[in-house]
Structure 1
Amino acid sequence: MAERIVKEAQVPFDLGGSRFDQIATELFSDYSRARIQAWIKEGVLTVDGKAGKAKEKLFGGETIALDILLEDQEVHQAQEMSLDIVYEDEDILVVNKPAGLVVHPAVGNRDGTLMNAILHHAPETAHIPRAGIVHRLDKETTGLMVVAKTLAAQTDLVAQLQERSMGREYEAVAIGVMTGGGEVDEPIGRHPHNRMKQAVEPVNGKEAITHYRLVERYKNHTHIRLKLETGRTHQIRVHMAFIQYPLVGDPQYGGRLKMPKACSPELQEELRMFRRQALHAKKLELSHPISGEWMSWEVELPEDMKKLLAALKADMLESGSNDSEYF
């Protein structure tokens, strides 16, 4: 379903002397400057009915107009799939992603992804880059994601992510007993020897900040709540492993499974069967991209994490021990 955008505005005289692209970005603030510049270059964003150049300066009083029929950006197939929709309106979609669902199509995962499901559920997202997906969760991480259904919403949500005003909170189960909460402020970049992994990279990494606090401590594990300031790939998993508290079940950063000593058979079974990182995007907060209303959503932990926490608690109560040695 193509979307037609028709807009018109008169250039205020107090903006006279500024560049065409700067003025257009201010007057049509629903769209990014890069998109505005592309439309000027294509000739669909005009000055007094004529094509212009991004750098040309306007005097004030001119009429700038936009008339464009957006073509589909995504060539991926729309697929009917079950979506756990937490909230939806004309501009945004908030979903609770299950474990095992890949967000974007890629080599080895051409279909059956969240993007394929969104394209079917909201066909209008086909004309938006990445079908309106503005952030991602790893395949085996569960929880909340927001998707833009219009270009204007996408521009605003991306800006909120860049300005770090969007709130994202996670819950996780870490290996080891933490003494208290804290902050990890360590740059993250691609692992120097394994391109499938990320790592703390002091020289070439990008800024990454993770805050964490304790929810509950067990004999050999800790239930934690985390808040992101930045959104680097695998950020929580890399940071927790870096401070020697990797997440339970993390196949890339947690190392081989180590069974705690004096561990109950029930807990041993839960730990063996938990084959994904114990990480859940529990809470999402943002300013609605169109109305500006501050909105917040929170979803329960998935059943596998509930079962894991229950087993950890039962094991602690049964033994009454604080032994934290591994074998």
Structure 2
Amino acid sequence: MSETLHRDARVPDAMAGQRLDQAAAELFDDFSRERLKGWIQQGVLTVDGEQRRPKHKLHGGEQLLLRAELEEDTRFEPQAMTLDIVFEDDEVLVINKPAGLVVHPAAGNPDGTLLNAVLYHHPAAASIPRAGIVHRLDKDTTGLMVVAKTLAAQAALVEQLQARSMSREYDAVVTGVMTSGGTVDAPIGRHPKDRKRQAVTGNGKPAVTHYRVTERFRHHTHVRCKLETGRTHQIRVHLAHKRFPLIGDALYGGRLKLPPGADDALKDLLRGFPRQALHARKLAFVHPASGQRVEYRAELPDDMLMLLDYLRHDHATMR
């Protein structure tokens, strides 16, 4: 069974000079670059109603029109896996993702991902791009994600992400004592020397993270972060850029700093904390069917609760 996909997007003036296939990959980022290139070549992704080549240079202001038949994607196998479902109806699925679960299959993780689990839970997702997944969390980040169960719901949620109207709030525990909250407005792109990492770089994509202090300890801080944009590793990169890396972040955390005078239990916990201390705690969006704004919350997982308890104890006993 196939469904007809209808998407429109205006090319921002800032994209003037970009190739059509490059701009399409940014404006329709829930599809792979290869699939978009194929649609351009087939003439179902047009510029102001006209077929163009993938290398066609844009001037800004053009209207991209996408009208394509979507066949079921049979590349990925449905797999029976436990999902912590916070909410579900005919349009959306909100889940609380555990640490260690990869969202989408890739070279190093061909199966056992959230996408495989969604295909098993909702087989019709095979006809939706990326099985309805519209945003991601890193493998070791816990918390809330929304998955679309229909093409219309996916289009609505993607539009909210692009308009920055979907609200996503995170809990993070960082090394260092913040004196106050603030905003990091710094573009993020691939690290120039390490392709596994992202970095604040002048030629990166715009990225904005707001943060506020929730609780201070002797040498650490519990912060709440709110995303305006959704770049890869955004919170991890931005807080490390501010020299407040997340506890347990092997990629961006740098050398481990242990609090002077801390007891062995806290030192062991900090040395062995198995992941970045980051949790997607709150998610709010306009429901695609009802038009009402809905909000969901997920309590901190046990490992972060224990970490905060140890830091409180250290703070209280060493003052």
How far apart, in 2, do the equivalents of 1:214 and 1:255 lie? 22
Q: Which residue of 2 aligns with 1:190?
A: 190
List gaps (5 residues or longer) in structure 2. Answer: 7-30, 52-66
Q: Which amino acid aligns with 1:108?
A: G
Q: Which residue of 2 aligns with 1:300?
A: 299
State whether residues 3 and 127 of structure 2, in contact with CA within 8 Å, keep that contact through their aligned partners in structure 1: no
TM, length-normalised to structure 2: 0.80
1:244 paired with 2:248, answer no
Q: Cα–Cα, structure 1 residues 249 and 42, in superposed 2: closer, same or farther, change >3 Å?
A: same
Return the offset for 1:55: 5.2
The Cα offsets for residues 209-250 of structure 1, whole Å up to 9 and x where unpaired, read as 000000000000000000000000000000000010000000
What is the DSSP-based 3-state SS (H/G/I as helix, E as strand, rest coil) of the residue aligned with 1:126? helix
Q: Which residue of 1 aligns with 2:26?
A: none
What is the DSSP-based 3-state SS (H/G/I as helix, E as strand, rest coil) of the residue aligned with 1:255? coil
The Cα offsets for residues 56-108 of structure 1, whole Å up to 9 and x where unpaired, read as 9xxxxxxxxxx997420351010000000000011110000000000000011
How far apart, in 1, do the equivalents of 2:238 and 2:49 lie? 43
How far apart, in 2, do the equivalents of 1:225 and 1:5 lie? 40
Q: Which amino acid aligns with 1:255?
A: G
State whether residues 3 and 124 of structure 1, in contact with CA within 8 Å, keep that contact through their aligned partners in structure 2: no
Q: Which amino acid aligns with 1:175?
A: T
1:286 paired with 2:268, answer no
State whether residues 134 and 148 of structure 2, in contact with CA within 8 Å, keep that contact through their aligned partners in structure 1: yes
How far apart, in 2, do the equivalents of 1:311 and 1:3 lie? 53
TM, length-normalised to structure 1: 0.78
How far apart, in 1, do the equivalents of 2:3 and 2:314 lie? 60
Q: Which residue of 1 aligns with 2:316?
A: 317
Structure with bigger gyration radius = 1
State whether residues 241 and 254 of structure 1, in contact with CA within 8 Å, keep that contact through their aligned partners in structure 2: yes
What is the DSSP-based 3-state SS (H/G/I as helix, E as strand, rest coil) of the residue aligned with 2:192? coil
Query: How do 1:52-91 residues align onto structure 2 when only pairs under 5 Å count?
Result: 54=49, 70-91=70-91
Q: Which residue of 1 aligns with 2:199?
A: 199
How far apart, in 1, do the equivalents of 2:5 and 2:95 lie? 30
Return the offset for 1:6: 12
Q: Which residue of 1 aligns with 2:104?
A: 104
How far apart, in 2, do the equivalents of 1:69 and 1:319 lie? 64
Query: How do 1:1-327 residues align onto structure 2 when only pairs under 5 Å count?
Result: 2=1, 54=49, 70-202=70-202, 204-320=203-319
Q: Which residue of 2 aligns with 1:63?
A: none
State whether residues 173 and 277 of structure 2, in contact with CA within 8 Å, keep that contact through their aligned partners in structure 1: yes
What is the DSSP-based 3-state SS (H/G/I as helix, E as strand, rest coil) of the residue aligned with 1:216? strand
How far apart, in 2, do the equivalents of 1:316 and 1:195 lie? 38
Q: Aligned residues: percent identity?
A: 58
Q: Which residue of 1 aligns with 2:11?
A: none
Q: Cα–Cα, structure 1 residues 170 and 78, in superposed 2: closer, same or farther, change >3 Å?
A: same
Q: Which amino acid aligns with 1:93?
A: L
